[in-house]
A and B are shown apart, each in its own frame.
Chain A
Amino acid sequence: MANVLELSKINKIYGEKIKTQVLFDVDLGFEESSFNSIIGASGSGKSTLMNIMGTLDKPTSGDVLIDGRSTKDMSANQLSAFRNETIGFIFQFHYLLPEFSVIDNILIPYEIKHGKVNAQALKRANDLIEIVGLTKVRKNKATDISGGQQQRAAIARALINSPRIILGDEPTGNLDSETTENVYNMLRDINNEFKSTFIVITHDKRIAEKADRIIEIKDGKISMDIRS
């Protein structure tokens, strides 16, 4: 299968005076519709890698190719549009906009893309809300729901534009183990149903083992890469 996302010779060095190299010549390809997990010790460079994959951060050298297209020379505006349409983010700390309701939060990537919301988008948002089980609280302010519900809202938001790639940085980091299990089952279901490519950072070995592929990062290098 073709690689939907490809990292080539990624190096990342932080700092101007005191330089710390965090990633060393990382080469990685992700297949379309696959479910991948990334594990590794704290400080090993997982988040750094993921932010580069999502074009939020720039590598010191190397290139990120999405659908075979190099992102190296894209302008800020091109990258924004690209992110909006191709990548869905689920962050560890939810990052819903506290000023908006659950459903409005979920619709934001759609509004960024299309400028306005139509009936069709509203229906899709409601379907996603149903899938993540938030129908009852969909009109609530983002701050007026539980942590797990916020996480699920963030997942629905990541899916609204049907992105090819969904990136999760410890998306269940601060949830209890039962909720974590539920959320992952949901992500797998979505992966099966919508065929989006998932790349998820996790600390939880049990969760990682459910993925099609486990990649371990150690000191900025890939130390293990197993496909099941």
Chain B
Amino acid sequence: MRLAFKIAKQFLKNNKGQTVLILLGITIGISVQIFIGSLIDGLQLSLVDKTIGSSSHITISPSGRDNFFEDKDDIYSMLRADTRFTQVSSSFDAAGFLLYDEETYSLLSRGFDFQDANGIYKFDERIIEGRLPNGEREVALGIGLVDELGLNIGDELDFIIPEIALENVTLVGVFDLRIASLNRSWMITEISSAQKLFQREGQISSIETQVENVFDADIIAEDLSMSLSNSLQVDNWKAQNEELLSGLTGQSASSYMIQVFVLLAVLLGISSVLAISVVQKSRQLGILKAMGIKNKTASQIFLFQGLILGIFGGILGTGLGIGLTYIFSVFVTNPDGTPLVPFYLDYGFVAFSVAIAIIAAMVAAFIPARKSSKLNPIEVIRNG
């Protein structure tokens, strides 16, 4: 082993040109792999984040025709204590109409405990004028509606509670959720205020959550619905975004394809250079065998060369790959200066890539190693 390693090292050192060539091959291969892998990962994450970053991942709501329920079992606290969930927020949602200039505008009144809801919807960051509602009859409306009707902060507005009454509310803030439909149709308010307006104190319409591992949302939802009563239903974002998910899957598949072919090219490159090196070193191998080196040791020489090349190529490739990914995120930007694809590194994936580099180099060394093992010293001795 030790001798094989020593000889492998000496062989690599003495054929600097070849060694550099192989290292370059592995480095480029692995860096492309890491670059493409990270790019696609970053792209998908940012896509997923844009899609569900500011919305509920798993939502609990009454099943059937009921719109409201009382959280008697304290599901809210149970979910809060569950580490799989990063955000839990109860809401009271009900439809109503804004009466303005003799016209009615259909609105979804959403009542939140903002301390919880900000975790999901980031209302605190999305308020572009005024402030968040925090008292009774205080509401915030979306920029779309506010602009359309020419409303101002402090305006008193008439809000029709269907089948109940015409109530008076005060506009205290304007939000921009960056989704036009929500900016026109949502009216947000404190949950207790909403409950009072609709005369349903103590009731809620849904519990919204975000989970740590977004792609496990379906599994967690499944798990959750088992433990909840039948009168409640559990929805998750994956079930509602199948198109996005199949797009992501397709993207991942093509990324894997690219990675596989890059690796294949690297593998062929290394093995062909190493195969040439066996021929070049056949004189040395012949003399080593005449001196009694075992066939196994002779093959280990090339496996060690593969290992050494794999380790160094893997490290260099990782450095270059991370560098490329970083540079891409810094220099390839949207018009507003934010990166087109945010810098994202999955350490597991990087470690996996290095492992792949080492394994690929060893696999590539396998054929030369076999050749070296089979080499008969007499051929070399006889032919000088």
**Which A residues fall within an 8 A CB radius of B?**
47, 51, 54, 56-57, 76-77, 80-85, 89, 91-93, 95-100, 108-109, 111-113, 115-116, 157
- A108 proximity list for chain B (CB < 8 A): 3, 288, 291
Q: Is B238 interfacial (CB 8 A cutoff)?
A: no
Contact of B381 among A84, A91, A109, A115 (CB under 8 A): A91
Contact B292 A80 (CB under 8 A): yes
Binding site secondary structure of chain B: helix
Contact of A81 among B286, B294, B384 (CB under 8 A): B294
Q: How far is the CB of B353 from chain A (nearest CB, A)?
A: 32
- A77 proximity list for chain B (CB < 8 A): 294-296
Contact of A115 among B1, B7, B288, B384 (CB under 8 A): B1
Contact B378 A51 (CB under 8 A): yes
Interface string of B1-20 (1 = CB under 8 A from A): 11100110011011000000
- B384 proximity list for chain A (CB < 8 A): 92-93
Contact B291 A89 (CB under 8 A): yes
Q: How far is the CA of A60 from the CA of B211 in the complex (A)?
A: 76
Supply 5 further A-B pairs (C-beta < 8 A) apart from A51-B378, A112-B293.
Answer: A77-B296, A80-B292, A81-B294, A89-B291, A95-B286
Q: How far is the CA of A96 from the CA of B284 in the complex (A)?
A: 8
**Which B residues fall within an 8 A CB radius of A?**
1-3, 6-7, 10-11, 13-14, 283-284, 286-297, 377-378, 381-382, 384
Contact B293 A80 (CB under 8 A): yes
Contact B292 A95 (CB under 8 A): no
Q: How far is the CB of A110 from chain B (nearest CB, A)?
A: 10
Q: How far is the CA of A113 from the CA of B2 in the complex (A)?
A: 12
Q: How far is the CB of B311 from chain A (nearest CB, A)?
A: 21
- A82 proximity list for chain B (CB < 8 A): 292
A sample of 6 inter-chain contacts (CB < 8 A) reads: A84-B292, A91-B381, A92-B384, A95-B287, A112-B288, A116-B2
Q: How far is the CA of A192 from the CA of B98 in the complex (A)?
A: 118
- B293 proximity list for chain A (CB < 8 A): 80, 84, 112
Q: How far is the CB of B190 from chain A (nearest CB, A)?
A: 78
- Which 9 pairs between the two chains have the least Cβ-Cβ distance? A84-B292, A83-B292, A99-B10, A95-B287, A99-B14, A111-B3, A80-B292, A57-B378, A109-B291
- B283 proximity list for chain A (CB < 8 A): 95
Contact of B382 among A47, A80, A97, A100 (CB under 8 A): A47
- B6 proximity list for chain A (CB < 8 A): 111
- Which residue in chain B gives the minimum CB-CB distance to A58? B378
Contact of A56 among B3, B297, B381 (CB under 8 A): B381
- Which residue in chain A gives the minimum CB-CB distance to B287? A95
Q: How far is the CB of B297 from chain A (nearest CB, A)?
A: 8
Contact of A80 among B2, B14, B287, B295 (CB under 8 A): B295
- A115 proximity list for chain B (CB < 8 A): 1-3
- B3 proximity list for chain A (CB < 8 A): 108, 111-112, 115
- Contacts A47-B382, A99-B14, A116-B2 given; indicate if A76 touches B287 (C-beta within 8 A): no
